[in-house]
Every structure is written in structure tokens, then in C-alpha cells.
Structure 1
Amino acid sequence: MIVSAHIVNVSPPRALAGLRAKPGPEAIQGLRWSETWLMNPLRTGLLPSTRIDGIALIAVWDDDESLDKFLFHPLAKLYEPGWRARFEPVRTVGAWPGLADLPRSEKPTGDEPVGVLTMARMRLGKTRAFAAAAGAAEREALRHPAFLEGSSLMHPPNLISTFSLWRTAREMRQYTVGTYPGGHRDAMKKNDDKVFHHETVFLRLRPYETQGLWKGRDPLAAAMRQKADKVATPARDTSRAELFEPVTAANPNSRTGGR
């Protein structure tokens, strides 16, 4: 099982069109689950951002080959100008419909970068209370030195999510449950008291391949390059030239990293 994230910054009309064009397991071979999301920036002030600045597709696949085939599908074309990454799921807390096979016991990631996907089905009557509780956590994430990139995600009417990338799992935990400076931990406590959501899941992901640009850069490139310098690992077969271009300085959309 692998997880893919496909992110592209597009206009609100294109994002809304993409929201409705969700690939389904019944039509895509090897696809186990997927969801499309409107993207809006993590907040820097007191109020949540209402600006839609892109569309995201998060998907779970049988294997790399299934994802390779999907990249030729018409539904994948929207995301071609953006950024995508492949991940190994390494830890799950909570549960989500359609994702019963995610790993429960933690797989250590050491000093490798990690991705974090949180999803929740909001109790609509608790929307205002949740927005107030989450403000400090969003602002503090943006200031954390190990935060690489992230976005708030939503699928109306009541699905909400965050997707973020971190330098290491240890530093990510310092933000979520540690003492830096406590906004996320306080938000979790308020959720325990008021129960903002019907169901939630937290998924930690180990990236092993990236391609393209998110906000003009690959946020994982430096961290994965540092890992590759420390440990030489065999590359997965990339002989399918029609899928990927060779890595060159002139090709900023080349893949970075290896398994």
C-alpha cells in the first residue's frame, strides 16, 4: 500500500471543478481510496483564511505501478503542473471509512522527513468553536523551524483536513504534543472537552519520491537530498521513459529522492 499527494495551485473555478472530479476505486484499477480537497492557506491572523488557492488529491493505492498507470488518466491531467509525492504510511491514529488496512504500529523514520495528513468530519454546530481553537496551532506551525510546507484542506460541507510536511517526526511531535509553544496541544485538549468532530484520523507518511513544484519549489527536495547523501539506496525501476523525465538542472519538475 502507498499514499500519493497531488497538489496544484489553480484558480477557484478550476479548483471547484476539480473537487467534483474525484477518481473512484470502481473506475481506477489499483486505487483503494481517494478524496479531493479545496486548499486554503494556514492562517497567520486570528481568522481562518477563506481564499481558495488550489486543489489537492490524496489517494491510497495498491502499489507504485497502479499510480504510474493513473498518471495517464484524464483525471490526473489537472495536477500535472503542480507537485506530487509518494509516501509509505508509517503510523495511524484513529479510523476513517475505506482505510481499514492502514498500519497501526509505528514504523520509525529516524531523521527522515515526514508528511502528516489529518482528516475529520466536522460537527457543523461546532464549526465556530473549532475555528477558534485551531488558530494558534496553525500560526505556530508556520513559525516552527522544522515545518517545510502545509495547507488547510476542505471538502464541503463538513470534511476538513490538514496536510503538512516536516523535517523529522521528532520535531513534528515537538509541535503536536510537546512544548512548542503549546497551541496544537491546547487545541487537542479543547477537542477532547467539546468533541468538534464525528470521526478523525491522523496519518504519518514517509516520503520516498517527489516531483514538481508547490508554491514555486519542492518543499521536500533539500531534506530528501540530505538523506540520499547519507545512505545510498537502490532506485526503483524508472525505465518507463514515458512517465518521467531524467533529473537535470534544467528540469525543475524532475523527481527527487529514491526508495
Structure 2
Amino acid sequence: MQTATLSLFRFDDLPARLWVLGQMGAARLGMGRIDGLEFWKLCGSGTGEGFTPRPNWGVWAILGVWRDDTAARKGTARAPVFRRWRARASESYTLFLQPISARGHWSGARPFTPQPASDGPIAALTRATVKPAHALRFWGRVPDISARIGQDPNVLFKIGIGEVPLLHQVTFSVWPDADSMAAFARRGPHADAIRAVRDNDWFNEELYARFRLTGTAGRWQGTDPLAAHLCAPQVKEPA
């Protein structure tokens, strides 16, 4: 069964931040050699919780799509790229995800293969390539969405990441169930932004995917923010 992972890394000091900036080029050579890794992206993040166009030089991410859960667990634990990033980071956190629905493309590919899943926390990922002519109008909508999602008592975890500042953006959030996620998406500034995207053709490419959260490893901001919502025990992240 295909498994996706989102691995987050926090780099606190200047040497580590300069190092990971260089990894945006250097790590690409190693990613292609990881067994079972079918699709991957190296991403930066925005300031705050990531939902801003201003880069956060301290938080970076690796998104991976793996042949199966075994490959995902082994790769994120043992592959040299992941080990190097963990060794330099002040903390790191990986979410293990089972794709349950997906539509659209990412860099021309359809990376996720949806499968039926049991109940449990659900993650939502949206990825878009924003047309340069519409970037300012798009980002004008984001602060309202960010504030609303931050105030929603149902959201369990959230972060905004991206491949290219302003133009290639990914939003990721985890919810206790599909109903609470859908209720947020149907109302307020998020729903208004979706209508604006459709009416004004803001994106060159877009992808929407949903996942079941199947596990976590590591810590984020000193704890595992999702441990209480998982049936399976949290995995201790390797050194």
C-alpha cells in the first residue's frame, strides 16, 4: 500500500540554516537513489505557521511518496539524506500518510494512488502553481484563511510549505475526521478563495489530496502534537 510522508526539520543556528539552504541543490542527487521512493519534493516554509509569502529560513521539509509503508519507515529512518538533515536539525518530525483521494497534478505527475482506509484523523494537502500575474491577489486572500484555520478548534496540526516562494505553494492540515475538515472548507474565507481561483483562473497547476494519518515519528515544538489522536504508538525517531 502506497505511503506518503511529510518530514519537517527545524534549524535554529545560522550555520545549520546555511547548510540546509545548500541542500536544496545537493540533496537532489541522493533523493533519486533511495529505495522505494517514487516521488519527492524539497520544500521551504513561510513565517509563522507557514501560510505567508515571507520565507522562514529555520523550517524546511521533505515530502516523499513511497512504494509501501515498509519502504517509507526504512527510508525516512536510514536513508543518508534524512539522516544528515536530522543530525543538523534541532528537531524533526515525520507524518506517515495513506492516500485516500487525489485529483490534479504536481509537476505534471499524479503522485498519489488512493486506497480505501479505516476511520481516523484525516490530512488535507493542497498544492498549486500560482500564475505570476495573480500572485498578489492570491496572497491577499491567505492571511484571512490562515487566521481562520488558526482559530478553528478542530484543526490538529497545520503548516504551509512551498517549492518556490510566492509561486509554488503547499498547504497541509490534519483534522480529527472528514466532517470537521469539510465544514471548514465550505465556509468563510477559504470557500471565498476557492471561488476566486475558479472564477479568475489563478493557477497553472493544482492538486488536492486527502490522507489517513497512520503514524508519526519525532517531535515538533518539543512534543508529538498528534500522538493522542493515533491508535498506533508513536515511533521513536532514529538518531
Answer yes or no: same fold by TM over 0.5.
Answer: yes
Larger Rg: 1
1:73-222 matches, cutoff 5 A: 73-77=79-83, 78-79=85-86, 81-96=91-106, 97-99=108-110, 102-103=113-114, 107=116, 110=119, 112-156=120-164, 158-177=167-186, 179=187, 182-222=188-228
Provide, for residues 213-259 of structure 1, a one-character-per-residue CA deviation record: whole Å limited to 9, x for no partner. Answer: 112221211111xxx3xxxxxx7xxxxxxxxxxx7xxxx9637xxxx
Q: Name which of 36, 40, 43 aligns with 1:34.
A: 40
- Distance change in 2, residues 1:101/1:164 (3 Å): closer
CA displacement at 1:24 relative to structure 2: 6.6
- Distance change in 2, residues 1:131/1:212 (3 Å): same
Provide, for residues 152-193 of structure 1, a one-character-per-residue CA deviation record: whole Å limited to 9, x for no partner. Answer: 11212532111211122210111112x3xx110011011112
TM-score, normalising length from structure 1? 0.76
Q: Does 1:3 align with 2:14?
A: no
Q: Decide whether the 8 Å contact of 2:5 with 2:63 is kept in 1.
A: yes
- Distance change in 2, residues 1:152/1:196 (3 Å): same
CA separation in 2, counterparts of 1:123 and 1:219? 34
Instruction: Give the length in aligned residue pairs.
Output: 223
TM-score, normalising length from structure 2? 0.82
Identity of aligned pairs, percent? Answer: 22
Provide, for residues 72-93 of structure 1, a one-character-per-residue CA deviation record: whole Å limited to 9, x for no partner. Answer: 2220121464111211101113
Task: Name structure 2 gaps, 5 residues minimum.
Answer: none
Read off the aligned partner of 2:100 and give its amino acid letter. V
- Distance change in 2, residues 1:23/1:211 (3 Å): farther
Q: Which segment drifts farther, 123-132 or 87-96?
A: 87-96
Q: Which structure shows the higher strand fraction?
A: 2
CA separation in 1, counterparts of 2:30 and 2:207? 20
Task: Name structure 1 gaps, 5 residues minimum.
Answer: 229-234, 236-246
CA separation in 2, counterparts of 1:203 and 1:171? 16
Read off the aligned partner of 2:80 and give its amino acid letter. P
Q: Which segment drifts farther, 138-147 or 69-78?
A: 69-78
CA separation in 1, counterparts of 2:61 and 2:81? 12
Q: Decide whether the 8 Å contact of 1:42 with 1:49 is kept in 2.
A: no
Larger RCO of the pair (alpha carbons < 8 Å, separation 6+): 2
Q: Name which of 50, 53, 56 aligns with 2:61.
A: 56
- Distance change in 2, residues 1:18/1:168 (3 Å): farther
CA separation in 2, counterparts of 1:167 and 1:49? 29
CA displacement at 1:50 relative to structure 2: 3.8
- Residue 238 of structure 1 aligns with which residue? none
